[in-house]
Structures are given as structure tokens and as C-alpha cells.
Chain A
């Protein structure tokens, strides 16, 4: 284990393999009972063009289109949120920071709710994304006015205040449109089950986002020491920070707009990864992406494997199982330190 952690490339490759295995396993799970070998044949045929048995189109549709889309969504959203979380925690030097801390989720929720109460669910993703971006723009405009040492706190406060305001508007909207309250509530709890036809744009935004953040991995290492130190060491903090903020928020906004609010991944995955492999962002960032994807895949898998949980949105599951797991990690580390 120690050797693995000292050789991050091996560790990252093994994690990626684990992710691939879990993803394939998840393709075999669902309400329709399709034998494992059929699922594997479908995967081989779709990916590599190897045709070895005739499979009914209904099974192909279920495995490749429905399950495939759901799993792709889980991986994209999971890694997007985890990478954003890592980035936010480092930039704000705050262990409590998560991708939603700048009010992005509240903006997205308001946008989606407007789509629901006006009956324009066809524009829901666009409205949610617009809401996320507008709230970010507002927070950033109001929060970054004083670019001195305390600007981080300023930004966080602006994010929290803005989030509170947007949440209040959301509550008002729900109270005034009680008929649509249930739909909004289910959206807010987060779900990967929607039929999404904008998977590609979200994938593009998240992968470009992850790549951009990776390019600044070394800068993030330095920024973790403090903005002053980073400036001293030659990082153009005033340029890098806004850029990363925008990139990560775009990622978060894209994820939230298709999945609703899935909490906790952006908060705990970065912490767990740091506990395993230390503080080098070139290692933490890809691992966060991989573990974020694994975590959301498993949480979503639970809702499909355990009949009792089939009606529970995945956003609830992540918190339900994420919190105790995280508490255990905190407890275990605390004991070791003592």
C-alpha cells in the first residue's frame, strides 16, 4: 500500500481500473433482469464492434442507452463536483468549502424551479445553468471588489448571503406554487434518472474544466500556502484565481443543471483523497475525479440494488452514506493523531 501511494501513477491507474470495473458492473444492474453475459456482449459489440450473439433491441436499448446514460451521467457529475470541491478548498484555504459554497446550487435550483412552475421543462437544463452562472457572476462581482488578503472571506460571505437570498426566493416560489411543490422537491433532492439529451455538452464542459484545473495543479500547490506566498513564488494569483473560479463554477453549474443538487461529494471526496495521497494537486485532482465518479456510481447503484431505496433520490443517498463514512474517517484520523 505504501509503495502504491509513493508511486502515484500506479495508484491512479489502479483507481481508474477500479472505476471501469464498477462502471461495467453497474451496467448489469437494473429493474430489467438481463443476464451478465448479455450485458458484456452488448458492451463488446458497441465499443469494439465484436458481434457474437443476437440480442433483442429492447435489451440493447436498456443497457446501452438507459443504463449507459445514467452511468455516464454519474461519472461526469461525480468527477466534476469532486474536482471543483478540491479546487475550492485549496483556493479558499477552507476545509468546509464545497462546489456549492458560492451559491451556484441555489441559482441553479431557482432556475430549474422557474422552469417547473412555468411548465417549460424543455428549457429546464438551460434555465438551471443560466441561474447558476448568474448567481456566480453576482457573487463574484459583489465579493471581489476588495482584492486584498481578506477577499477570500469576502467572496465566501457574498456566496452565503447570495445563496440565502436565492433560497428564500425558491421557498417563496414553492409556497406560491404549491401544486408544483412536489416536482421541485424531487428536483432539489438530486437525481440521475432523468432523460437527459444534453449529456454531450455537459461532458465537454466538465472534461475541459478538469483539464484546465489540471494545468494549474502546480499553481494550486503554491496557492495552498497562502496568496502572499504564492505571489512571492511567482503565481499570478489575481489572474489564476478568477479563472479557476469561473471554470469550476461552470463545471458545477453544468452538473447541477442535469442532476439536481447532489451534495457531499464535493466536500468529502477531496478530503478522503488528501488523507490517502497527501497534498500534491497533480495527484489529488485526477484521483478526486476518479473517486468522485466511483462514489456517485456506488450511491446510485445502491438505489437500484436495494429495493427499499429505489424511491430515494441519489442526492439523499450520498449524504446518508457519505456523512457516516466521513465521520468515521475523521474519527480514525483523530485516534491516529492522539
Chain B
């Protein structure tokens, strides 16, 4: 028995999952094919049943000790099979051919690839159903929904801030509206200045950045020192974000990796954008 949920049809396929899962033993050997899925599995308290993870699965700490099955873009099918999983949690499009190989080998594959905050919640439903942790799933979902609604509540009366999100400094990259991060910005009461671009990551030249004149400049830190030089140069002194000292950094995993921690990233971003509305640590 196996089933695959294309990420676009999450709603309908959801029903099949629940039907299929009824009367089925809880999977005991789970392999996760993306760092985000690993985080969801651990958040559903299924960490001890995870026997293999994609590389970069570095959260929570315990995930680092799990055997790696290679990068998410090229998982090692043979290695996965050798782990004898009874469930593989995969991504969508990018892993289609690997999912096919696994299914041919008779492995149960569930695939989720959230593209926005709502789809993370849906992915949690799907995964919790597939691993038989529905109760924990409901709890996690409502915890995260609470964060989302709290952020919406406290930012409701604030004016939206225009944000430039620096994915990388050289070459300078930002996010268009196809990116998952674009949705986090919107939910956090911000407006992505590059939202008119119909792409995921996209290069941006200095002049365009300057003429966007964002209210806030948020750097994805890539675990580096947050105060990187370039925006602090004298040439940018006239930018609103620099004048108002609205320059901040957020750890990349909180923004780029769809999972439970994306909601932590959301709260962090909301705190950066609306310091007047949110007191320190108000939203837990």
C-alpha cells in the first residue's frame, strides 16, 4: 500500500490519508527526505521512530545523530532502502523520480511541500495522520495557529512596513512572490518590496534596492555575523531603513525551511517590523 500526495492537491488527498491510516500499525521506521519534514516529525514527538534524514537536518539537536540519506535534491535511494523504512516523508516536485523509485520498491511514501504558512499546517495534519500521531498533530497545529493569530492580532492596527529581504549579499539576492518567505513577510504585517517579481530568489541591483527605499532591511544571516558591511556603507545613509536603524538579521532556517520553526521566524519578523506593537517575548 502506498500513496503520494502532490503538494497542490493537499486538501483532497488529505481524506485518503485518514482513510488509509485507519487500522494501520503506527510506522516504526520513518525516513525524512527534507530538513523541514524532519523538524515536523520531531515536533510531533516521533523523533525516536526516525531512522534516516536528509542532510542539513540539524534541528532539533537529536536529528544530527540520525543517519543521513544525502541531500534533499538527490537522496540516496539505495541507502533509504537499506534502512528498511515503513514510511518515507518526501517533498513534492523536486523528488518525483526518487519517489517513483521508492514506490516501485514497495515503500509507503507521503509527500508534502508547503509553499506558504497555511500549507505548513496542512502538512502537519497529513504527516501526523500518516504516522499515527493525530492527537499530537492537533495540539501542534493549534499551538502554531495561535502564534499566527496572535501576530495578526497585535499587528492589525499597525501600518504595514515595506521590507527588503536580503537572501545573499554578493550577488545581492532577494525574494519574489513565489518564495515561501514572501508569505511570512505578509503574515508578519510587512510588504515585500520585490513582491511584483514573479519568481523565487531573484538578483537585485543596488540602485533598485535604493529606489525601493524600504522601511526595514532584513538579512538572512546564514549563521554568520549579522552586521555585515555592505548596507552600513555611507552610500546607504539616506535609506529609510538605515535612518530608522531598521536593520536586522534572522537565522536562515527560521525563514527558508518550511516547518514548525517558520512560525518562530514569523514572530521574530513581526517583532522586527512592529517593535512598537509587540513587547519583548509577548508572543511565545
Contact = CB atoms under 8 A, between A and B. Distances in A.
A178 B228 contact: no
Contacts of A30: 207, 211
Interface residues of B, number: 33
Contact of A182 (B56, B201, B233): B201
A186 B171 contact: yes
Interface residues of A, number: 34
A175 B238 contact: no
Nearest to B213: A58
Contact of B233 (A122, A187, A195, A310): A195
A241 interface: no
Contacts of A58: 210, 238
Contacts of A187: 170-171
Interface string A181-202: 0110011000101110100000
Given A32-B210, A66-B207, A66-B210, A61 B235 contact: yes
A217 interface: no
Interface in B193-208: 197, 199, 201-208
B19 interface: no
Nearest to B204: A193
Contact of B202 (A61, A65, A311): A311
Contacts of A186: 168, 171, 173, 203
A191 B171 contact: yes
A93 B160 CA distance: 62
A193 B71 contact: no
Interface in A304-325: 304, 310-311, 313
Interface string B39-65: 000000000000000001000000000
A67 to B, nearest CB: 6
Contacts of A193: 171-172, 203-206
6 contacts: A31-B205, A121-B228, A175-B71, A187-B170, A194-B170, A195-B170
Given A66-B205, A67-B207, 8 more contacts: A32-B210, A66-B235, A70-B205, A119-B222, A119-B223, A121-B168, A193-B206, A194-B170
